[in-house]
Amino acid sequence: MNKISECRGVAWWQAPALPPSAHLSSTVRLPGSKSLTARWMLLAAISTQTTRLVGALDSADTRAMGRALAQLGARVHWNLDACVIKPFPRSDTGQLIIRGGVHINAGQSGTVMRFILPLAAMAHGTVTVDCANNARHRPISGLVTALGGLGVSIASQPANRSGFPLTIHGRGQLLGGTVTVDARASSQYISALLLAAPLMKNGLTIHLAHHELPSAPHVEMTIRVLQSCGIDVVVSDGSWAIQPPDSSQITLPHDVTIEPDLSNAGPFLAAAMVAGGTVTIENWPAYSQQPGMAYLALLHRAGATFAEKSPGNLTCHGPATIRPLSVDMHDVGELVPTIAAICAFADGQSHLSNIGHLRGHETDRLQAITNELTKLGISATTTADDLIINGHSRALHGTDLDSYADHRMATFGAILGLRVPGIRVANMETTAKTFPQFVNMWETMVTNG
């Protein structure tokens, strides 16, 4: 196993490299989807009965969600194979009682910092929401403005900017109504409002201020989860409408099974691409709203072939030569670091377009990818919205890569290190944000071939 060493406060991970003649033949079982886990956790907290989320992802982000829900009054318990949630208490009239007078730290989780705001707006008292210092740049103003349009008072510190920490003055159930949202910075604004809409007295109709929505599959995922709970979402061009259920009560199944995280499958599928071998992902769903489903089409265009090794198990066969890609990644931006790592091994120019919103993720991912590929000997440039990579497998050489405290950039480094000896990645432990088992699973895959 590759050890992590520390130097001047930076923990360095020596990325394991396969010999040039080695070909992978590995099988991987992934943890549950972070995006689905977060949505089901929130819905379980506002439902009428205790829910067991089987296969829920246990990671830094989902733990942050659990702590936030617990501070607002739910009970959250993690065990080996599930997350068990007892919902918020209710008044004699059946209204949810969301606790005020609390301080919530979302850590580095954009999902928590956005999803929790509409719930905090319905608390009985003031709620402060903060996050990690290196996450305070993440966009939130569109959601704050939308909640203000619903009558919610939210103050930021300092007062002259719309950023964390935020103080939400909760006054119980929101009336709802109609709101217009600028969601160009994040689709999570829409998902956050949709998840809270069933609690609003008059329901909620959401209109997009601009016909531009990044990561649209995540909104589709939110709608599908709501529909699974009997909540009807009326969708039209650039708008969504939800009427409150009877007595504002939502009932979930006692047990909900969470799909594997298909975005986290990316580095392992990429391993088959750059190593020219095969990797099998267990329990791959036949259908899913997860953006990770797009890996199938993207990698096929780059030269991969896929087969179902056994029912539910998907096998990726890497090509002898990786083809450059020219694709619009607007709807699946979270896949960009993995696709960019693959494109570095394609001899030719790849163009990943319409992804300017990635500048507001854990880091400016477009600039981060460009910086690190340049260190490796690859010519890469950015425009306002695009990433252009001049792949050249023979130009790649070992170097130290920064993870930028970004889990996707950390796995980006691991993919490159698989075929380029001498790569070290800084602060690989950041993968615990969404995939605590990553380092162990990656090293096991390389060791076992």
* CATH number of 55's domain: 3.65.10.10
pLDDT in tens, 51-62: 999 999 999 999
Q: Which residue has the higher pLDDT, 10 or 268?
A: 268
Indicate whether 434 belongs to any domain: yes
User: Do 50 and 17 share a structural domain?
Assistant: no
Which residues are CB-neighbours of 302 under 8 A, at least 6 positions away?
A: 273, 319, 322, 323, 324, 325, 342, 343, 346
CA atoms within 13 A on the CB side of 275: 28
Q: Which one from 212, 220, 259, 334 is the annotated catalytic residue?
A: 334
Residue 159, pLDDT score: 59
Q: Which two tokens mark 40?
A: 């089901």
Are 343 and 354 members of one domain? Answer: yes
Confidence at 248, pLDDT banded by 50, 70, 90: low
422: left (phi over 0), alpha (psi -120 to 50) or beta: left
Q: What is the pLDDT of residues 118-132, one digit of tens each?
A: 999 999 999 999 999
Same domain, 315 and 370: yes
> Could you tell me if 26 and 38 lie in one domain?
no
End-to-end Cα, the chain, rounded Å: 13
Handedness of CA 430, 412, 355, 35 (dihedral sign): negative
Q: Are residues 425 and 375 in the same domain?
A: yes
**Residue 3, domain member (yes or no):** no
- 130 beta partners: 105
Of 237, 257, 277, the residue that ends a domain is: 257
Residue 1 resides in a domain: no
Q: Binding site residues for phosphoenolpyruvate, as ranges?
A: 34, 110, 138, 188, 365, 408, 433
Count CB atoms within 10 A of the CB of residue 326: 12
Determine if residue 57 is left, alpha or beta; phi over 0 gives left, psi from -120 to 50 gives alpha, anything else beta: beta
Structure tokens at 49: 């009965």
Residues for the chain: how many in total? 449
9 or 188, which is more confident: 188
3-state secondary structure of 220: helix
Cα 84 to Cα 41, 78, 418, distances in angstroms: 9, 6, 38
pLDDT value for 3: 52
> What interhelical angle do 294-301 and 336-343 show, nearest 10?
10
Give the residue ranges of the annotated binding site: 34-35, 39, 110, 138, 186-188, 215, 334, 361, 365, 408, 433
| 387-391, strands of its sheet edge to edge | 326-328, 348-353, 387-391, 379-382
Beta-carbon count within 10 A of 376 CB: 21
Reported confidence tier of residue 1, pLDDT bands at 50, 70, 90: very low
Among positive and negative, which fits the CA dihedral 136, 104, 70, 73?
Answer: negative
Residues 204, 352: one domain?
no
Mean pLDDT of the residues in the chain:
93
Question: Do 357 and 413 share a structural domain?
Answer: yes
Residue 418 forms part of a structural domain? yes
Are residues 42 and 24 located together in one domain of the fold?
no
Q: Annotated binding site for 3-phosphoshikimate, which residues?
A: 34-35, 39, 186-188, 215, 334, 361
Residues 253 and 342 occupy one common structural domain? no
Single residue among 257, 279, 308 that ends a domain in this structure:
257
How many domains would you assign to the chain? 2
Distance CA 300, CA 349 (A): 17
Indicate whether 410 and 282 sit together in one domain.
yes
Residue 2 lies in a domain: no
The pLDDT tens digits of the residues spanning 402-433 come to 999 999 999 999 999 999 999 999 999 999 99
CA separation for the pair 48, 179 (Å, rounded): 27
Same domain, 155 and 121: yes
**Alpha helices (H) in 197-246, listed in sequence order:** 216-228
Same domain assignment for residues 24 and 62: no
* Any domain includes 292: yes
Task: Classify residue 7: in a domain, yes or no.
Answer: no
How far apart (Å, rounded) are the C-alpha atoms in residues 109 and 106? Answer: 6
Query: What whole-number distance in Å separates Cα of residue 369 and Cα of residue 375?
Result: 10
3-class DSSP state of 32: strand
- Among 257, 287, 308, identify where a domain stops: 257
CB 167 within 8 A of CB 126: yes
**Catalytic site includes residue 220:** no
Question: Does the residue 4 lie in any domain?
Answer: no
Instruction: Name the residue with tokens 């529909």.
Output: 227
Structural domain range at position 391: 12-31+260-448
